[in-house]
């Protein structure tokens, strides 16, 4: 199987920037057509086309309360009407494995430790809504370029 890159005109579906890496079978066929609507629906569900910040929350062993924190953050984000701008994604180990739950917010690259309920609420209110880091819970800032 080969991979080939294609820019797909999805304006009819309302996603002018959707670009996909469809798989092409050895006989030259492709799954683009049948997968396109599925991809567009998933893009919309996670707001990948409108998000301005992405929060990754570790839910692995040393961050066992991460899933609960992600749920609380999503609820508060919805309450703050930030749903179009912020996506929270539960992830596996972020390789910090100390003082969890750990989460990181992009594009700032702000890494938070010990994210309890109160800290999760502050991250939503102060960082995601107001644009100010929650300094006492941040242990690293590394903005990606
Ligand atoms: S288990 Fe959360 S960072 Fe490793």
Residue 115 and residue 69 in contact, taking contact as beta carbons nearer than 8 Å: yes
How far from chain centre, in Å, is Cα 11? 24
Q: Could you tell me the pTM of the whole model?
A: 0.80
For 87-104, write each residue's pLDDT tens digit. 999 999 999 999 999 999
Task: Select from 59, 62, 68, 91 the residue to mutate for testing ligand 1; criterion: most ligand atoms less than 8 Å from CB.
Answer: 62
DSSP category for residue 108: T
Ligand 1 centroid–CA 102 distance in Å is 7
Determine if ligand 1 sits within 6 Å of the CB of residue 62. Answer: yes
Determine if ligand 1 sits within 6 Å of the CB of residue 63. Answer: yes
Burial class of 44 by CB neighbour count within 10 A (0 to 12, 13 to 18, 19+): middle
Each domain of the chain, given as residue ranges in start order, spans 2-45, 53-141
Burial class of 16 by CB neighbour count within 10 A (0 to 12, 13 to 18, 19+): exposed
Q: From the CB of residue 6, how many other CB atoms can be counted at a distance below 10 Å?
A: 12
Architecture of domain 53-141: 3-Layer(aba) Sandwich (3.40)
Q: Tell me the pLDDT of the chain averaged across its residues.
A: 86
Ligand 1 centroid–CA 74 distance in Å is 20
């Amino acid at each position: 199987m080969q991979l080939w890159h294609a820019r797909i005109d999805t304006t009819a579906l309302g996603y002018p920037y959707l670009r996909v890496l469809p798989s092409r079978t050895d006989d030259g066929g492709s799954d683009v057509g049948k997968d396109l609507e599925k991809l567009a629906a998933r893009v919309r569900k996670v707001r990948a086309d409108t998000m301005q910040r992405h929060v990754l929350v570790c839910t692995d062993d040393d961050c066992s309360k991460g899933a609960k924190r992600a749920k609380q953050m999503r609820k508060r984000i919805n309450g703050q009407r930030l749903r179009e701008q912020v996506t929270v994604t539960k992830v596996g180990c972020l390789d910090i494995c100390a003082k969890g739950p750990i989460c990181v917010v992009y594009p700032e690259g702000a890494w938070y430790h010990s994210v309890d309920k109160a800290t999760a609420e502050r991250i939503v209110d102060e960082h995601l809504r107001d644009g100010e880091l929650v300094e006492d819970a941040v242990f690293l800032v590394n903005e990606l370029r």
